[in-house]
Structure 1
Amino acid sequence: MWLFSLFKKSPPQNVAFSESFWQDLGVGGASSSGEHVTWKTALEVTTALRCGLVIADGVSTVPCKLMRKDPATGRRAPAFDHPLYELFDYEPNGWMDPLQFFETKTLHTVFTGNSYTFLNRVRGRIVEMIPLEPAGVRVERKDDYSLVYHVSAIDGSVEEFPQAAMWHLRGPSWNSWTGLDITRLSREALGLAMATQNAHAQRFANGLQTTGIYSVEGELVPDQYKRLKAWIDLHHVGARNSGKPLILDRKADWKPIDLSGVDAQHVETRKLQIEEVCRAYGVMPIMVGYSDKAATYASAEQMFLAHAVHTVRPWHRRFERSMKRSLLTREEVKAGYYFKFFDTELLRGAAKDRAEYYWKMFQMGMSPNDIFALEDQDGFEGGERHFVPSTMTTVENAAMPRGIGDNGDPSLESTVADDPSADDAPAAEDDGEAPKAPKSRMNAGLVLSAENEGRIRGARENLDAVLSKLEEQAE
């Protein structure tokens, strides 16, 4: 439900001369190629359509969660207790799931520079998020720099909404309050792509054979011209008539005209426009199914990685910052709430890279259960413990004082005893048992790292060398 009655209504406004009105009608701005380019016509260009879908897939298919970082402990966890968590995890409104919601908002922003979402609040709490078509929203900046949104309703009336009622996601912006219309700015590249596509289609519609001259003896009257043209159109024009023999009479002759240099480069021009359109939307050509002969498996893998880093990740960060500002209060931000896209989802297709990433994170302190959680798998009992690379001792032991072992057990000492005379203590009375080595020596090998052990051995060898020289001098 729109809940228009919650806000003050403004009188209906004439939006017939706004740019979005004409773009919505499909008129748009004319390019030098003669094609009128709008977001609707851009969607009919397969390269532009795929660019938008590739970006939308990268945003909508990556998990986005509302998280909370505990200010006291610094630990991060999903904010299950926050009302927004269910909206982003289950359904933002009554007819969309989160994937469809993010997909629609991304497509709006890619092709128009802006996406608008009405925030249905009940007692200050957001209970529903309704995406609006960009052509039906007009943004106005007041003298005090506040923004007001004029939304066209289904009945034709225009409702005015304050900034707090709208989640406005902007693309790259020049004036700071509306995003740049990338489709309009790249209309020349899109227009030429449309023109070459239409020209290619007309070539097939008018016949697969090369255009030529059909000549007959004598003069043809207008009725004969019409009958001859109708006969040719019926039997020799269009892809369905390709390959049919041409039957001539009255000593008629067919003289084909060779392709010109421009015609011969027609396909090359269409390939160039693929790169131009991809360049406008910031998508690598290989992501829309186009690659040159020089691309190899290794280079393609790096291109896919570059797409994840330089195309998808900036969109993730744009969404995160926008959601943080528009959907969370300052108090909630101070309490540690934030939105997060889990970019590691993009590495699921590369098992080797994913395993290497997890191993490095494990060495930096990530627990096994944290890794299982990223793979959407259950952990195991005791898997929440963290380790650091000091012969992989536990973080708890590394932080313990000297002489205290695992879980505070003094029997597992972390270092040699501080008392240097411990080894020289008098031996216990002989009760028939073999004398036991001092506890410090028994446990030293358990805790010494390979580096320290190597240093001790080196020092012992140097000491032996010095002692042997002293013995020689004494003799």
Structure 2
Amino acid sequence: MTELKIPIISKFLEKRSEMSDLKNPKRWFYNTFGITAGNGIQVTEATAMKSTAVLACVRVLSETVASLPVPVYRRLKPRGKERISHAVADILQRAPNSKMTAFTFRETMMAHILLWGNCYAEIEYDGNGVIKALWPIPPSRVDMYDTESGDSFYRVTLPNGEQKNIPDYAMFHIPGLGFDGRKGISVISWARRSIELALATEQFGADFFENGTNVGAVATHPGTLTEEAFERLKQSLREKYEGLGNAHRLMLLEEGMTFSKNTIPPNDAQFLETRKFQISEIARLFRVPPHMLADLERATFSNIEQQSIDFVTHTIRPWLVRWEQTINWKLFDSNEQKQIFAEFLIEGLLRGETKARYESYAIARTNGWLSVNDIRELENMNPVEGGDIYLQPLNMKDVNQKEPGKGGDNDEGSQGTTGIGAAGNAAGSEKG
């Protein structure tokens, strides 16, 4: 049979060097027309969420970032900071718009950037140029362009099919990892085959048990049963031996019949190991510890705590830096950027067990770099009167401070009353 070529496809896809035909179509042919290929699994940003591992990773990261406080501060001179009331603080912590809470907004934006590699929100201003609201936009509806003069703008396709151009200053855009520093690339597109394998193993397992591909037992007759004898034997087996109540009853067989019970061969059960590996594979893509995906096979009490700290420092922290820098760049004007900034609070995520936390507080309090109110603030408690006093151990002193009765800043005059210097002074006094 002659293969029928499709030249129109090659003309439509100029970048495709590999031809496809109807007898053996390539994967790109299916993707171009939205047709499911092979085993019926098509991995997109939406269908990837059908994988339990992908869903768990997206939920863990989105909910963690959405739940963290993000207050607005003013820098103090010569150093330090203080919390302030600001329109951006109200948007980030209460409600970014009239349709959703701050938690829902950040959770949605994180889901977008984790799946599509970018998240977008239109910035709405009032008549005085003050930010009024942030409206998230699905990344699949946004394209980035540049004018002839080099200015960037975003073209958004509205639900009714109309298109709207948004200038760069009016778009809150956080890109993920990419190649040009302007637009991120979807993790789903990078790891499409790994996610496809995870979905395939889930589908295989569901079909295996749903369709009953494993036969529980086989009864063998040396001859050929008539239709009447077959129906009588089937009814007898069903009435006497089926069900949990008859699971261990003695079976009586006639006419030389034999009975054998089937089990799942070990090789056929290896898809369970494949499913376990794909959980680790997808967790690796999103940098989420396996125990957060309910994979506790290699978890212990000691390494779970360390993995949780690593999760904050190496997984959550980079995302927070992306958020903070975009907030400070896009939501504050050029004058405010010098003095005002937003910052996520992650101290609560870094807390260890109660005993270790209190011991660290005791060391900090004794050495004088935390006050009672500082500690109470870290524990989400109100300050107390007199709690702003910092302690100083008695055996410590300023190395630049002169001793009473000593003149000059030479080595002998600046030494303390203990050690070699003190011994030398005492010896000199006795000789005098």
> Which digits, 9 at most, give the CA deviation of each residue in 1:43-101, with x for residues without a partner?
1211111111111232122221111112x332201122x22122123221123222222
TM-score normalised by length of structure 1 = 0.68
The 5-angstrom pairing of residues 262-411 of structure 1 reads: 262-293=267-298, 295-334=299-338, 336-358=339-361, 362=365, 363=367, 365-387=369-391, 391=395
Q: CA deviation at 1:278?
A: 0.8
Candidates 183, 186, 190, aligned match of 1:181: 186
Per the alignment, residue 79 of structure 2 pairs with: 74
Alpha-carbon contact 1:43-1:49 (below 8 Å) kept: yes
Report the CA distance shift for 1:360/1:148 in structure 2 as closer, same or farther (over 3 A). Answer: farther
SS of the equivalent of 2:161 reads coil
> Which digits, 9 at most, give the CA deviation of each residue in 1:221-250, with x for residues without a partner?
9xx9xxx9xx99xx99xxx98898899999
Report the CA distance shift for 1:241/1:204 in structure 2 as closer, same or farther (over 3 A). Answer: farther
Report the CA distance shift for 1:340/1:32 in structure 2 as closer, same or farther (over 3 A). Answer: farther
SS of the equivalent of 1:263 reads helix
The structure with the largest alpha-carbon Rg is: 1
Report the CA distance shift for 1:219/1:157 in structure 2 as closer, same or farther (over 3 A). Answer: farther
Judge which range, 37-46 or 243-252, deviates more.
243-252
Alpha-carbon contact 2:70-2:92 (below 8 Å) kept: yes
SS of the equivalent of 1:178 reads coil
Alignment gaps of 5+ in structure 1? 1-16, 18-24, 403-414, 421-447, 471-475
1:417 aligns with 2:396: no
Alpha-carbon contact 1:33-1:192 (below 8 Å) kept: no
Per the alignment, residue 130 of structure 1 pairs with: 135
Q: CA deviation at 1:116?
A: 0.8
CA RMSD, aligned part only? 4.1
Q: Distance in 2 between matches of 1:119 and 1:105?
A: 14
Aligned pair count reads 385
Alpha-carbon contact 1:31-1:187 (below 8 Å) kept: no
Q: CA deviation at 1:330?
A: 2.0
Alpha-carbon contact 2:124-2:134 (below 8 Å) kept: yes
Alpha-carbon contact 1:56-1:103 (below 8 Å) kept: yes
Q: Distance in 2 between matches of 1:219 and 1:371?
A: 84
SS of the equivalent of 2:144 reads strand
Q: CA deviation at 1:36?
A: 0.7
Percent of residue pairs bearing the same amino acid type: 26
Q: CA deviation at 1:261?
A: 5.4
Alpha-carbon contact 1:32-1:191 (below 8 Å) kept: no
Per the alignment, residue 167 of structure 1 pairs with: 172
1:48 aligns with 2:54: yes
Per the alignment, residue 102 of structure 1 pairs with: 106
Q: CA deviation at 1:355?
A: 3.5
Q: CA deviation at 1:276?
A: 0.8
TM-score normalised by length of structure 2 = 0.75
Report the CA distance shift for 1:301/1:392 in structure 2 as closer, same or farther (over 3 A). Answer: same
Report the CA distance shift for 1:212/1:112 in structure 2 as closer, same or farther (over 3 A). Answer: farther
> Which digits, 9 at most, give the CA deviation of each residue in 1:250-278, with x for residues without a partner?
99988777645541311111101111111
Alpha-carbon contact 2:118-2:139 (below 8 Å) kept: yes
